[in-house]
Structure 1
Amino acid sequence: MADGKSSFVYVTYIRTTPDKLWQALTASEFIKQYWFGMNCESQWTAGSAWKLVSRDGEVFDAGEILEASPTRRLVIRWQHQNKPELRAEGYSLCTMELEVIGTVVKLSITHTIERDNSKLIEAVSGGWPKIMSNLKSLLETGAIALENPYPVESTVSGQA
């Protein structure tokens, strides 16, 4: 991108209520179910610290909540922590917007960073669809879609 910014946008429609979706996005025990055992730790209020922590306590991302409008909008500013090349890119901004449309809630995630060709944005563009597919499935059916964030892909017949 020529503007010195990289971004990724993901939109999904979930058959749920804004209250249930907000709880799913902010309740630790629920997050662990769809985020492959990872946990987001925060007070979920503007100015509070935020971090993404693995099952074994390793902090993957850390930052702060910039905006928290329950059932409507959540904005998190964070920096990756455990891969030096991603950490070096600095802070990214993740905005989650919830909008009721009939019997569903439209969830839009916009993840940006102030740099061209960001490796962090490349990484999250592979992660968000898996995480949000699990969230959608869990809210709608009671079960996640993917057990493993890196499932073994099937090969096309006749190809190695």
Structure 2
Amino acid sequence: MYTKLTSVGRNMAIIACATALGAGGCMSEKAEINKPLPKMSKEEAEGRARDVTHSMARSAQVEIDEKTVKPNYTKCVGKNDEVSDDGRFVLQYDARASLDGDQHEQAVQRIRAALEKRGYDVGTYQVTKGPNATVALTAKDPEKRFTVAVDGFMKRDEMVLTVMTPCLLPPGREQQQY
């Protein structure tokens, strides 16, 4: 069966793979599965995601519609579908902003330039034309391993800004070993 992914679906698949890599989910050596996870509370992760999202919005020269902000916490899932009981989590933080479709490409280019200046590695940058024209960007912070995605839906005059954390372990929790 063939499933056509939208640009958001495509970017979320890229983010999911990057998260799995960051969590050790795609690593072949058994020792890597127990590699120490970065420690961060949910509040700190959400604060950082909010800061990155607002920074991208400033770069794009758009205002985030605060009613659209959606922090979504999920458990980390390992390579062999392991789910621990140690409190580790992944945060996907989404926000939307209105922007005239004709301005999307320049706005995403400004976001890209700002992210590159801050040391992010750009993974994809894609512009599609036609009746469902979109602009899409993904990038990753090599130090904090946060992944970002920007999707501009020109027909809807809407941009979606997403930040996803790697698998994080809350402070004070002992990491479960496999």
Please give the range of the TM-score, normalised by the shorter of the 2 chains.
Answer: 0.3 to 0.5
Higher helix share: 2
Structure-2-length-normalised TM-score = 0.30
Higher strand share: 1
